[in-house]
């Protein structure tokens, strides 16, 4: 087994994790809401009165932030070793999973675990375990 050191980014991952944790804590302290992307985006599909503005601003921020980063740091080259069909299928499966699990990795894995939620622990173990199993099957049994 070899390690591709080009994908080993401990400092960037540490900084990203710290920023995500701080953003999640600030969001719940300021807004009293969980920073779960699927819940925020899902709330746009059935907005309540006076609820759509902050959701739209949040989604726009997620779309604009990478563009601003590229203006400062330059273009980022990402390589995805999968076909468009596989990427679309994976996205659909993640969407279905977030509906069945009543949340996503940011809601359960970051915010729920930090609140010691048993439901979030079960959800996080489920989607992480499923992800590990799928990667194992695709990389070691199929390929």
pLDDT band at 1 (very low <50, low <70, confident <90, very high): very low
**Sign of the four-CA dihedral 11, 126, 88, 42:** negative
Q: Mean pLDDT over residues 57-61, rounded? A: 94
For residue range 65-97, list pLDDT tens digits in order.
989 988 998 887 777 778 899 889 988 988 888
For residue range 8-42, list pLDDT tens digits in order.
778 888 998 899 889 989 998 998 888 888 888 88
First and final CA of the chain: distance in angstroms? 15
Q: Would you list the domain boundaries of the chain?
A: 7-142
**For the whole prediction, is pTM greater than 0.85?**
no
Nearest to 124 by CA among 139, 142, 106, 137: 106
| Residue 4 scores a pLDDT above 70 | no
% of the chain exceeding 90 in pLDDT: 28
């Amino acid at each position: 087994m070899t390690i591709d050191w080009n994908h080993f980014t401990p400092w960037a991952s540490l900084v990203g994790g710290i920023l995500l944790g701080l953003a999640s804590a600030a969001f719940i302290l300021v807004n009293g809401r969980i920073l779960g992307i699927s819940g925020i985006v899902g709330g746009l599909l059935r907005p309540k009165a006076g609820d759509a503005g902050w959701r739209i601003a949040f989604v726009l921020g997620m779309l604009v932030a990478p563009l601003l980063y590229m203006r400062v740091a330059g273009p980022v080259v990402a390589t995805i070793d999968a076909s468009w069909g596989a990427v679309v299928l994976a996205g659909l499966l993640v969407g279905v999973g977030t509906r069945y699990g009543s949340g996503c990795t940011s809601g359960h894995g970051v915010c729920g675990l930090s609140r010691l939620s048993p439901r979030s622990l079960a959800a996080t173990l489920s989607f992480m375990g499923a992800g590990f199993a799928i990667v194992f099957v695709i990389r070691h049994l199929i390929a």
